[in-house]
Amino acid sequence: MEESSAPTSKKGAKKAEAKAKKEALKAQRAAERAAAQVADIDLEDDPAKDNYGRATSPTFTPDTPVVELSSLDDSYDGKTVVVRAWLQNSRIQSAKMGFVELRKGGNWTIQGVVMATISGTGAETQLPAEGTPLVSRRMVKWTTAINPESFVAVEATVKRPLEPVKSCRISGLELHITKCFVLAPAPAVLGMTMAVANQPVVNFSDETPSAGDADKAKEPEAAAESGTPAASMLTHLDNIAMHKRAPVQQAIADIRVEVKKLFRSYLEERRFKEFEPPCLIGAASEGGANVFKLAYFGQEAYLAQSPQFYKQFEIAGGRERVFGIGPVFRAENSNTPRHMTEFTGLDLEMEITHSYTEVLHTLEGVLLHILRTVQERCADEIETVRAVYPSEKILLPEPGKEVRLTFAEAQKLLREEGPAEFRDVRDDEDMSTPQEKALGAVVREKYKTDFYVIDKFPETARPFYAKLDDSGATVGDGVRVTNAFDFFIRGQEILSGGQRINDPEELEARIRAKGVDPESAGIKEYLTVFRQVGVPPHGGGGIGLDRVVAWLLALPSVHLAAGYPRTPKRLLP
């Protein structure tokens, strides 16, 4: 599954990467030529010399408003403004006129025009009429030679262009530049250009290419599927600022922010209170495998693999309904597009009044709220992502028609309507990732939804704290089922949850039944809390934020949904 979900083939990826390198070299030469030309300009005798140049804090007419590109609209027509932005492109039209493209606010772009008002040079210099801004030919040349991705501040008059500027998002206005200062110059050669940064990432293998790999890249290969150069995740992360500046990554980051916000606001409206579980813990509580260990003042500490125990301590401590948003850590050497060693968990835990379905419905409610609302609030951002990573709109159930299958029903569906290889799946064994994906396809076909719940997992597939179904129901060879469930998006799991055992005797019995020593470090302290006080019935669930964002957008990897993806091979930047 890992390989097939990449947007292009491995061969195509190599080809595209090679092309990107060539592109970079070409850009370097062009930049060097431009720089050489700019260096030739003697600014000292330019009557416009105070209107352009390198400045750390340029001064503009004090009452000229500094405007964000995202707030520019027709009401600014004819007005003079200061705009601070990244210069992402430029071209010189003639000795008297040039164009630049400015970008700010993620993906707001506008065309800037720089037109000489001073004609002639040297002795033949002719200044414009009094009151007209001074723009020299040298200023035109200098401005259009600014290295792409430099941060600039311009003073300009906002005007409507003769024709809409198709290449820019703000197509109905342009900036007639009268002053232009570089506040932070980009180098002549970028490690990754914006054109490349905004292409799909072609390779997530996340390894430093070895000499052998480099050789392979030189072998004759089939033409890359797209004509545009692209780069590997490695190149993207080595050029983190360019990676982040790309509109596609800005859009993903904005969608991520919105998902978090929606999670939080939905729960806060329902009396949930935020809390912060610790990352440093004194025992590798949940099994001990895949846990990071560190020296801690003569003891050992571990990094929390989940806030599970702490969410339950909050319930024991009378917090009633809690949620947490924070990092969780897995020391798992899994180099796949679904895994990271550090990711953000969206967790909740709540008292149960009548039935664990209260928990299921709350989690379903918050997720559907997120998935529906983010599509309204982030419609532009989703379009921006889709332009780079094409995907079908996610299918969600109509309210009241949510799809909830029991584990046994889901396996039956897979046996009867899934691919031949899954004819014999059992009701008492956990699903594999390929099974999950196949089921996702069957459910989409049958129920027209990419979002669904599988409930009543067999106890063999759940941890010791999962509460067994009261009815004593079994599947397969007499395996008890639990009040525990998983949620799926496009056939990929994004949430695990359920009712937890709240009775200490029952909990100890299940701990033993799972072959865990109730006296072992971490487990003992956990169990103690249940014995120390009465803990009300409760349940909850944990959602992987990175996965929700990635699968909502059908991205080829969760690494694209994280700000700084952590993988077994990657800790920088």
List active site positions.
Answer: 330, 332, 338-339, 493, 496, 547
- Residue 316 burial (CB count, 10 A): 17
Return the H-helix or E-strand segment holding 293. Answer: strand 293-296
CB-count exposure of residue 555 (10 Å: 0-12, 13-18, 19+): buried
| Residues between 11 and 30 with contacts to a copy of itself, criterion CB under 8 A | none
Q: In angstroms, how far is CA 434 from the centroid of its own chain?
A: 24
Sole window of 27-35, 386-394, 436-444, 560-568 interacting with a copy of itself (rule: CB under 8 A): 560-568
With tokens 């930047």, the residue in question is 573
When binding is defined by CB under 8 A, the residue of 371, 535, 552, 553 that contacts a copy of itself is 535
When binding is defined by CB under 8 A, the residue of 12, 337, 497, 537 that contacts a copy of itself is 537
Pick 224 or 284: Cβ nearer a copy of itself = 284
| Residues between 319 and 358 with contacts to a copy of itself, criterion CB under 8 A | 319-320, 326-327, 329, 331, 333, 341-342, 344, 351, 353-354
Return the sign of the alpha-carbon dihedral for residues 80, 84, 89, 95. Answer: positive
Residue 74, φ and ψ in degrees, nearest 5: -55, -25
In whole angstroms, how close is the CB of 410 to a copy of itself at the nearest point?
27
Contact between 188 and a copy of itself by CB under 8 A: the answer reads no
When binding is defined by CB under 8 A, the residue of 9, 119, 150, 157 that contacts a copy of itself is 150
Instruction: Compute the residue count for the chain.
Output: 573
Instruction: Compute the distance between CA of residue 313 and CA of residue 337 in angstroms, rounded to an integer.
Output: 33
When binding is defined by CB under 8 A, the residue of 313, 452, 465, 551 that contacts a copy of itself is 313
Return the sign of the alpha-carbon dihedral for residues 61, 64, 67, 72. Answer: negative
Instruction: Compute the distance between CA of residue 224 and CA of residue 543 in angstroms, rounded to an integer.
Output: 37
Contact between 4 and a copy of itself by CB under 8 A: the answer reads no
| Residues between 105 and 124 with contacts to a copy of itself, criterion CB under 8 A | 105-106
Contact between 281 and a copy of itself by CB under 8 A: the answer reads yes
Q: In angstroms, how far is CA 111 from the centroid of its own chain?
A: 28
Q: With contacts defined by CB under 8 A, how many residues of the chain interact with a copy of itself?
A: 100
| Residues between 288 and 307 with contacts to a copy of itself, criterion CB under 8 A | 292-297, 299, 301, 303
Contact between 84 and a copy of itself by CB under 8 A: the answer reads yes
Sole window of 103-111, 128-136, 378-386, 435-443 interacting with a copy of itself (rule: CB under 8 A): 103-111
In whole angstroms, how close is the CB of 499 to a copy of itself at the nearest point?
11
| Residues between 433 and 462 with contacts to a copy of itself, criterion CB under 8 A | none
Contact between 210 and a copy of itself by CB under 8 A: the answer reads no
Instruction: Compute the distance between CA of residue 532 and CA of residue 525 in angstroms, rounded to an integer.
Output: 10
What does 94-116 look like in DSSP terms, one character per residue? Answer: ETTEEEEEEEETTTEEEEEEEE-
Judged by DSSP in three states, 487 sits in: strand
Sole window of 21-29, 40-48, 205-213, 246-254 interacting with a copy of itself (rule: CB under 8 A): 246-254
Instruction: Compute the distance between CA of residue 493 and CA of residue 491 in angstroms, rounded to an integer.
Output: 7
Q: Does the N-terminal peptide bond of residue 161 adopt cis geometry, omega within 30 degrees of 0?
A: no
Beta bridge partners of 89: 101
Cβ distance 299 to 274 under 8 Å? no
When binding is defined by CB under 8 A, the residue of 74, 213, 215, 503 that contacts a copy of itself is 503
Judged by DSSP in three states, 321 sits in: strand
Contact between 482 and a copy of itself by CB under 8 A: the answer reads no
| Residues between 247 and 276 with contacts to a copy of itself, criterion CB under 8 A | 249-250, 253-254, 257, 260-261, 268, 271, 273-276
When binding is defined by CB under 8 A, the residue of 19, 141, 176, 245 that contacts a copy of itself is 245
In whole angstroms, how close is the CB of 301 to a copy of itself at the nearest point?
6
Pick 253 or 461: Cβ nearer a copy of itself = 253
Contact between 76 and a copy of itself by CB under 8 A: the answer reads no
DSSP state of 306: -
| 241 Cβ neighbours under 8 A, 6+ residues apart | none
Instruction: Compute the distance between CA of residue 191 and CA of residue 240 in angstroms, rounded to an integer.
Output: 10
Task: With CA atoms as reference, report the closest residue to 186 among 91, 89, 109.
Answer: 89
Contact between 190 and a copy of itself by CB under 8 A: the answer reads yes
Contact between 316 and a copy of itself by CB under 8 A: the answer reads yes
Instruction: Compute the distance between CA of residue 487 and CA of residue 166 in angstroms, rounded to an integer.
Output: 42
Contact between 280 and a copy of itself by CB under 8 A: the answer reads yes
Instruction: Write each residue from 31 to 70 as x if it is in contact with a copy of itself (CB under 8 A), else as -, in one continuous string.
Output: -------------------------xx--------x-x--
Contact between 75 and a copy of itself by CB under 8 A: the answer reads no
Contact between 209 and a copy of itself by CB under 8 A: the answer reads no
In whole angstroms, how close is the CB of 382 to a copy of itself at the nearest point?
17
Task: With CA atoms as reference, report the closest residue to 555 among 16, 6, 1.
Answer: 6
With tokens 């031949």, the residue in question is 420
DSSP state of 131: T
Sequence-ordered alpha helix ranges (H) in 467-518: 504-513
In whole angstroms, how close is the CB of 334 to a copy of itself at the nearest point?
11
When binding is defined by CB under 8 A, the residue of 310, 465, 487, 488 that contacts a copy of itself is 310
| Residues between 459 and 478 with contacts to a copy of itself, criterion CB under 8 A | 470
Contact between 573 and a copy of itself by CB under 8 A: the answer reads yes
Pick 98 or 537: Cβ nearer a copy of itself = 537
Return the sign of the alpha-carbon dihedral for residues 555, 558, 559, 560. Answer: positive
When binding is defined by CB under 8 A, the residue of 151, 287, 336, 447 that contacts a copy of itself is 151
